[in-house]
Structure 1
Amino acid sequence: MFEFEIHHRDGRARVGQFHTPRGTVNTPMFMPVGTQGTVKGISPQELQDIGSQMILGNTYHLMLRPGERLVAAHGGLPGFTAYPGPFLTDSGGFQVMSLGHMRKITEQGVTFKSHLDGSLVELTPERSIQVQEALGADVIMAFDECPPYPAEREYIQRSLERTERWLARCLAVKSNDQQALFAIVQGGVHADLRQQSLDLTLPYNTPGFALGGLAVGEPKEEMYPAVAFTSERLPENKPRYLMGVGHPEDLVAGIALGVDMFDCVYPTRTGRFGYALTDDGRLNMNSSAPRTALTPLDVACDCYTCRNYTRAYLAHLIRAEEMLGPRMLSLHNLRYLHRLVERASAAIVAGTFSAWASEWSERYFKGKVPAWFSTALHHGQQALPHVSRESHAPKMNSN
């Protein structure tokens, strides 16, 4: 049911398909984030029109409001939201980090103060799985502890060991074989801790694996060696999910290193703040340049926004604080990321990914391509090594 097939490779980048009960998705792919059952400002039909394949929802938020029972009464998230395709639900592990001032962690689980009314809410591995089964997503995530950056090595080690124990508890109570549970590899930016987490996690042989504990504030010079290290040690025949990552440069670098799935609020949040994503970088619609421009945001883009509106009109909407402006920018930004992944996939199929990514980055970074990005592309073109369980190469930060 959750078969994963790789059809093309170019270096470590790969194009494949992941089969779920609600349909087959093409990888690599970017997943729009619908934290509370909606991708902000975008209708389900628009998501389908721009090529969205799988939507992310969040266990913690949906558990608090409207509650998983109401969602289940609609037949799960597809019936509740009217988006008919596959869903993935985050277990609530990210809130363990992001709500650090409002929670207490024990071996049993996490006790939160609700961000809505301050009431105490307990989320355990068992409760997370119970809620995710009621939400009815195709892919569910193991409940994990996501350390912040920076954090003490000792804390990161304790958290990854606890994450493994929580994974065992998640699998022990999981009862719905129509859902694929992905395990999450932690370890921060430390090679030896990443290896320890891999050694603890891989024996569970879950249908897919996530790279967790990254994009939480660390510099990209530390993040991408961790991505490379972890990705090349994950099973070749399982999808790899880099959690919480969605800047254009991160998608290209992650794809180069063999990542298959991404998600982030970045495209819609950026749109709400008045920015548009393009191959020339981020366009500020509050600046003076777009105010009289009679061209679309992107002449190569096929989204509804670019087919119908000029930069001048969109800049007017943003300045006038008309709700259509952020909506249209969000729609374009999502389509831009989907198109970016589609172009990367086409280059992988053609065997020209490295050249395409280099050309794209020269334009995107305006000729000043950062060293971390070039290193990621170079690493992605190297032959996959035979990695032993004890190997720690390539070198990463272990301080």
Structure 2
Amino acid sequence: MSDQAQKPFSFKLLKTDGAARRGEITTPHGVVRTPAFMPVGTQATVKAMYPQQVRDLGADVILGNTYHLMLRPTAERVAKLGGLHHFMNWPHAILTDSGGFQVMSLAQLRKMSEEGVSFRSHHDGSKHMMSPERSIEIQGLLGSDIQMQLDQCIALPAERSEIEEAMNLSLRWADRSRTQFEKMGGPGKGQALYGIVQGGDNPELRVESAQRLGEMPFEGYSVGGLAVGEPQEVMLRMLEVTTPVMPVHKPRYLMGVGTPEDILESVARGIDQFDCVMPTRAGRHGLAYTRFGKVNLKNARHAEDPRPLDEEADCPATRDYSRAYLHHLVRVNEGLAAMLLTWNNLAYYQFLMQGIRDAIEAGTFEDFRQKTKEDWARGDLAPYVWS
């Protein structure tokens, strides 16, 4: 068996434009074009979307959640049923997170130790232990292409001593995660394991974490512990000190980010992958993302507006339904509102990512970034007024 057959995961850096990077990640389930936005399929589904719709919008990879899937239907059951790709009818790349963030934010009666985190399910109170080894075991059973080490993510602001303690624990867990990943044969299956840079809002700790993590043999590296309530300028400052010391020829993933502006600014600082619940969650709450910025369909000014969200868009949800109709669906709490607005939002995010990739390829990313921000600042056309 060839080395390529044994290790199909790879990353190729195709073009740079300043710090912005365009590349390709090869996985056992297809190529991921970067910079990439990964729609979040928390419980083996991108909420309010069919899998083929998500694919048709341009998504090469989606994210599944280890914490939720280990509780329901359980990783063992998913494995028995053929793995997560088959289970959810998504034959393309899947990244699973470690479950650590959800354990910290959702689970009840958490107890942290060197071994891991013991907790009770927020569903039924059942007891569980999430260790680095168990997290990797679950992700292996799910069969995801890209897996994440278990780390400790703390809320900001925090004292330096607390940040440093969490960073060092995450580094020890990174080593244990890698050992378990190799024990389960992940590299031989063509799968990848990413390490996670921690360090809170402290530049020195961010650099130290990135350097020490870079000495470990991960297929990719993530920046964690940001977008947890800190101002955007803090997040961007941490990226500015972190990405220059991350391995150049490995993919870089900023976890849990974010808004379209966050994505633009993070690409400008060398990030390749993103995920966030924002476009799907916003869609379920009446908020649309467009080339002109955000449109709140709950607003009464849309009640008699016959225009679509964007008549030039390729997405049917964006182009073929009036704002008046979307406003009506939101107001009466119809399920179709969530379906159409989620469709629109994910379409816009993928439209943005394709625009970013094209601009990097053309060497015009800075112009694209400024024009996109100007369009958002200019906003939508004036509200429709009946004559």
Distance 1:196 1:232 in 2: 12
The equivalent of 1:112 in structure 2 is 119
The equivalent of 2:130 in structure 1 is 123
- Of 324, 339, 344, the match for 1:312: 324
Answer whether contact 1:215 1:244 (CA < 8 A) is retained: yes
Distance 2:212 2:264 in 1: 29
- Of 47, 59, 64, the match for 1:57: 64
* 3-state SS of paired residue (2:58): coil
Q: Deviations over 1:33-64 (max 9, x none)?
A: 01111111111111111111101011111001
* 3-state SS of paired residue (1:347): helix
Change (3 A) 1:149 1:97: farther
Q: Deviations over 1:213-259 (max 9, x none)?
A: 10001011211000121112111100000000021101111111111
Determine what percentage of the aligned residue pairs are the same residue: 47
Q: Deviations over 1:129-167 (max 9, x none)?
A: 110000000000001111111222111101110111111
Distance 2:360 2:76 in 1: 43
The equivalent of 1:37 in structure 2 is 44
Answer whether contact 2:108 2:125 (CA < 8 A) is retained: no
Change (3 A) 1:262 1:182: same
- Of 266, 278, 286, the match for 1:254: 266
The equivalent of 1:396 in structure 2 is none
Q: Deviations over 1:180-230 (max 9, x none)?
A: 000000001101111221232111131100000100010112110001211
Distance 1:365 1:240 in 2: 29
1:68-217 aligned at under 5 Å gives the runs 68-99=75-106, 102-174=109-181, 175=184, 176-177=186-187, 178=189, 179-217=191-229
* 3-state SS of paired residue (2:225): coil
Distance 2:363 2:258 in 1: 24
Q: Which amino acid aligns with 1:77?
A: L
Q: Which amino acid aligns with 2:140?
A: E
Cα offset for 1:95? 2.0
Answer whether contact 2:63 2:275 (CA < 8 A) is retained: yes
Distance 1:32 1:126 in 2: 26
The equivalent of 1:273 in structure 2 is 285
Q: 1:223 and 2:235 equivalent? A: yes
Answer whether contact 1:96 1:146 (CA < 8 A) is retained: no
Cα offset for 1:366? 3.8
Distance 1:69 1:116 in 2: 18
1:354-365 aligned at under 5 Å gives the runs 354-365=366-377
Q: Which amino acid aligns with 1:304?
A: P
Q: 1:18 and 2:25 equivalent? A: yes
Distance 2:365 2:23 in 1: 15
* 3-state SS of paired residue (1:348): helix
The equivalent of 1:370 in structure 2 is none
1:305-384 aligned at under 5 Å gives the runs 305-366=317-378
Cα offset for 1:100? 7.2
Q: 5+ unaligned residues in a row in structure 2: which ranges? A: 1-7, 380-387
Q: Deviations over 1:264-318 (max 9, x none)?
A: 0000100011000012221010112222222211223211202321111111111
Cα offset for 1:101? 5.9
Distance 1:190 1:366 in 2: 35
Distance 1:339 1:18 in 2: 19
The equivalent of 2:295 in structure 1 is 283
Q: Which amino acid aligns with 2:197?
A: V
Change (3 A) 1:41 1:246: same
> RMSD of the alignment, in Å?
1.3
Answer whether contact 2:288 2:294 (CA < 8 A) is retained: yes
Answer whether contact 1:74 1:80 (CA < 8 A) is retained: yes
Distance 1:233 1:119 in 2: 42
Q: Deviations over 1:318-360 (max 9, x none)?
A: 1111100111100110110010011111111111111111111
Aligned structure 1 segments of 4 or more residues deviating by more than 6 angstroms: none
The equivalent of 1:384 in structure 2 is none
Answer whether contact 1:97 1:148 (CA < 8 A) is retained: no
1:290-301 aligned at under 5 Å gives the runs 290-301=302-313
Q: Which amino acid aligns with 1:297?
A: L
* 3-state SS of paired residue (1:192): helix
